[in-house]
Structure 1
């Protein structure tokens, strides 16, 4: 039995035109040159992509800022933040199984809220992915110096910091790290996924090693009182550590390179949340058990200090510094990967230049787009102090999360007959809470961050009207062609005149 979508009303404004799920799914795997991405990723690779993008350097330094807010209850703060992230993660899981393409929340928004909001979402993802790669990589120089200081060596500050940062000239380690990730992605997704898996396993082993050492000095008395800063302090810490969970959506950008996306994408997203949350809570409990909560005030490298004091060996700093560098490299690799796949999807729709959608016949990767994006981000990381722009990635991420929650509600109401491999539990309460949590966290961010985000959005609107609107394939359809497109069967896509135009 064939079911169809409701036909949109004639004359729908281009900004409100939606792209049907059937059409998105039919186009999946096709670049602007007609090539296809290679399906080579299984559940384990997909899970490691999400863990790699999420489990970054934050856990190595975040305890020094979160524990003074929450006290010994910081482990509860991690659970609360994990639940908040999980509310959006389950929405991602449902849509990833329903629309298993490389566009992530951009594609989900296009299918539900229309082209205008899809562009805004895509532009937010450019901020989240692109700027965060540059921001994360900028910490590599510090950890390299920490590792080699044991041998009496140090890189000159002039080549480890961007201009304007206390005499910095160029952040060479950050630039090289992005270039290496770019070159690895050019070789193909299978090789990149293998390297990322190795790096993720290494940083998990390092965190487990910390827990073993810290539990050897465990004292239950360090958890008394549990709430010295009250419930408000615990909540403040939860807001702070929430951003350690950003990145779980990375697997959703691999929808067209997964062997069994409908089955594996939801599992990978949820499994990565379980792994990351368990590690965060375990590390937090071990750290507080090893030291009184007041000890963490002003400590920027609490994990390293605890292990160094416990073992009293210089090699400890080297091990943890290398672990931090690997954590940075893993985040850079997976997030850069996600950015290239999102731009590939946007290029199919005509909203960004076609070069980002061209696939290599040899590797099946978007080589040209990866090179352009990688070089641009490498230069940004090397010579531009990111400042408030890096902080604005939080708003962009939360905005995209909120749109995904709304998209789940929309599709359940408008197209309930579509077969879903995974369904959000306790609908509609879960996505409503997820969207509300995202809005709440956005409102708690500073005014300067909102100003930078507003300016970023103005630039995005300008680019859309200068290029995207004029080249959009959906906006270029006549009303008759658009009506034909939105009447495409959901389960068995058919070719129509509008399909051929797309």
Structure 2
């Protein structure tokens, strides 16, 4: 076996500030601009702030799971590395394969929410846009993003930084406009019986709000996918996760409360009102006028485009990394001969993003199932089984299977954060069907995982791995730990 000295290694140059910024850049994109009305609808009033806090609690608890795994297994790849190391003893390569399989769906679903958000805000500048025209614009955006990413990664770094700056500008503009024209009576007058803990409708709304909230916090784990480039991961990983979640929660609360202090919450429930589709535009129009609203709408459009751009950039690398490590179909390990980017991953995720965007816009009654609600519900339920719950279990499995593995960070109050995270994810999953009658997100998620099992059986037979070959137990990080000690 080659020692780690003979294999090229990524440089550990990403410190705490950079890791926190990377997490935050993935967390705060188009999400809050399009989900504030959805959160208000879920709770039925300004008590929607509960959803942002609940989402933050789930993100923090789940983030500590990521922190322990990322600190003890500090390599590139995130979840598929953790599942590979934890579950190889009983199921070989099955769990990392299934993670990549589900990621091939939930990552494009996340990107399609950005496309849908872009089309919604475009409607403010183009009031007469038809459904068909919106479909064409959305698909065109995905095609444009794929074409822009059809080049070396080094050539897109500056574009990504510029787009992130635009997003910060958009958030700042909305917050400042809202709080300079803030009416406390609008923001803090809750409906009678807004919080009734004995009411089933409250908990159904809470589950819907938690689903929207955790969607908006997704990205708190981004630094964990860059584990091989994080300096002192045992210290940096948990701090970056906690700081990014707390900071983004502050931003979201400012946005939600600020918006509620300008726009009556009832307006966000009216499909014919601008506030239900383009709430940032509505805030600026009511405070600074139409011209300012147009400018901020353009900023939001750029932010939406940036979220799709950066998401497909990173997402296309997930199947590539796994295939390169022999954990997914070999075709995804091939790079473009000239520009050296993973062609199959980029094309596949681009196609699925466009397809998901179109499907969500034509599922059922748009009033009962708004496209964004459809996409958010499906992507969160797909994530739960393999990424969320299996990864929480991986912490305990690894503590038992590899007790000597160095753990520079151990989960605070173990196993409580994992239990809290599991309960939160199960609430999201368990209420998905009831909160979305007729959509059947649980059945769709189970069906997708079932197809993944079939795909794995076919792939494993060709590759000659478990259950059609040996399990090939390989404790990579323990071996590297022993080599360094020697």
The alignment's TM-score, normalised by the length of structure 2, stands at 0.79
Summarize deviations over 1:39-60 as a string: whole Å, max 9, x none: 6655455434433332232311
Partners of 2:464 and 2:232 lie apart in 1 by: 30
What's the CA shift for 1:462?
Answer: 2.0
* Aligned 1:375-414 pairs, distance under 5 A: 375-382=347-354, 385-387=358-360, 390=375, 391-399=377-385, 400-414=387-401
Q: Given that residues 210 and 307 in structure 1 are in contact (C-alpha distance below 8 angstroms), is that contact kept between their aligned partners in structure 2?
A: yes
- Answering whether residue 85 of structure 2 is matched by residue 89 of structure 1, we say no
Q: Given that residues 66 and 240 in structure 1 are in contact (C-alpha distance below 8 angstroms), is that contact kept between their aligned partners in structure 2?
A: yes
Q: Given that residues 97 and 420 in structure 1 are in contact (C-alpha distance below 8 angstroms), is that contact kept between their aligned partners in structure 2?
A: yes
Picking from 23, 46, 54, the partner of 2:27 is: 54
Picking from 320, 343, 365, the partner of 2:296 is: 320
Aligned to 2:284: 307
Summarize deviations over 1:142-190 as a string: whole Å, max 9, x none: 434544x49xxx878655415xxxxx9x82123213432x23xx422x6
Cα distance change, pair 129–78 in 1 and its aligned pair in 2 (3 A): same
* Aligned 1:139-158 pairs, distance under 5 A: 139-144=117-122, 146-147=124-125, 149=126, 158=132
Cα distance change, pair 213–488 in 1 and its aligned pair in 2 (3 A): closer
- Answering whether residue 100 of structure 2 is matched by residue 132 of structure 1, we say no
Aligned to 1:463: 455
Alignment gaps of 5+ in structure 2: 271-275, 364-373, 434-438
- Answering whether residue 143 of structure 2 is matched by residue 175 of structure 1, we say yes
Structure 1 range deviating more: 221-230 or 278-287: 221-230
Q: Given that residues 54 and 331 in structure 1 are in contact (C-alpha distance below 8 angstroms), is that contact kept between their aligned partners in structure 2?
A: no
Summarize deviations over 1:6-39 as a string: whole Å, max 9, x none: xxxxxxxxxxxxxxxxx9x988997xxxx76676
The alignment's TM-score, normalised by the length of structure 1, stands at 0.77
Q: Given that residues 140 and 173 in structure 1 are in contact (C-alpha distance below 8 angstroms), is that contact kept between their aligned partners in structure 2?
A: no
Picking from 309, 313, 334, the partner of 1:333 is: 309
Q: Given that residues 105 and 404 in structure 1 are in contact (C-alpha distance below 8 angstroms), is that contact kept between their aligned partners in structure 2?
A: yes
What's the CA shift for 1:108?
Answer: 0.7
Q: Given that residues 59 and 214 in structure 2 are in contact (C-alpha distance below 8 angstroms), is that contact kept between their aligned partners in structure 1?
A: yes
Q: Given that residues 345 and 357 in structure 1 are in contact (C-alpha distance below 8 angstroms), is that contact kept between their aligned partners in structure 2?
A: yes
**What SS class does the counterpart of residue 61 from structure 2 fall into?**
helix
What's the CA shift for 1:490?
Answer: 6.1
What's the CA shift for 1:216?
Answer: 1.8
Structure 1 range deviating more: 375-384 or 64-73: 375-384
Picking from 306, 315, 319, the partner of 1:343 is: 319
Cα distance change, pair 158–63 in 1 and its aligned pair in 2 (3 A): closer
Summarize deviations over 1:350-383 as a string: whole Å, max 9, x none: 23233433568998xx61x2x2222233344446
Q: Given that residues 254 and 338 in structure 1 are in contact (C-alpha distance below 8 angstroms), is that contact kept between their aligned partners in structure 2?
A: no
What's the CA shift for 1:257?
Answer: 4.4
Partners of 1:487 and 1:58 lie apart in 2 by: 36
**What SS class does the counterpart of residue 426 from structure 1 fall into?**
coil
Aligned to 2:48: 74
Summarize deviations over 1:433-459 as a string: whole Å, max 9, x none: 111211221111126112222222232
Partners of 1:360 and 1:375 lie apart in 2 by: 12
Summarize deviations over 1:193-237 as a string: whole Å, max 9, x none: 554343233212322221221112223333134764224547243
Summarize deviations over 1:423-442 as a string: whole Å, max 9, x none: 22111111111112112211
Cα distance change, pair 335–27 in 1 and its aligned pair in 2 (3 A): farther
Q: Given that residues 29 and 303 in structure 2 are in contact (C-alpha distance below 8 angstroms), is that contact kept between their aligned partners in structure 1?
A: yes
Aligned to 1:235: 206
What's the CA shift for 1:281?
Answer: 0.9
* Aligned 1:81-480 pairs, distance under 5 A: 81-114=55-88, 115-144=93-122, 146-147=124-125, 149=126, 158=132, 160-161=134-135, 171-180=139-148, 182-183=149-150, 186-188=151-153, 192-222=156-186, 223-225=188-190, 228-231=193-196, 233=202, 235-236=206-207, 237-258=209-230, 261=233, 263-298=235-270, 299-312=276-289, 314-358=290-334, 367=341, 369=342, 371-382=343-354, 385-387=358-360, 390=375, 391-399=377-385, 400-446=387-433, 448-471=440-463, 478=470
Partners of 2:292 and 2:329 lie apart in 1 by: 48
Partners of 1:28 and 1:141 lie apart in 2 by: 50
Partners of 2:477 and 2:299 lie apart in 1 by: 52
Structure 1 range deviating more: 468-477 or 430-439: 468-477
Partners of 2:310 and 2:381 lie apart in 1 by: 20
Compute the RMSD of aligned alpha carbons: 3.6
What's the CA shift for 1:83?
Answer: 0.5
Structure 1 range deviating more: 245-254 or 134-143: 134-143
Q: Given that residues 38 and 256 in structure 1 are in contact (C-alpha distance below 8 angstroms), is that contact kept between their aligned partners in structure 2?
A: yes
What's the CA shift for 1:81?
Answer: 1.5
Partners of 1:207 and 1:26 lie apart in 2 by: 48
Q: Given that residues 85 and 242 in structure 1 are in contact (C-alpha distance below 8 angstroms), is that contact kept between their aligned partners in structure 2?
A: yes
What's the CA shift for 1:92?
Answer: 0.8
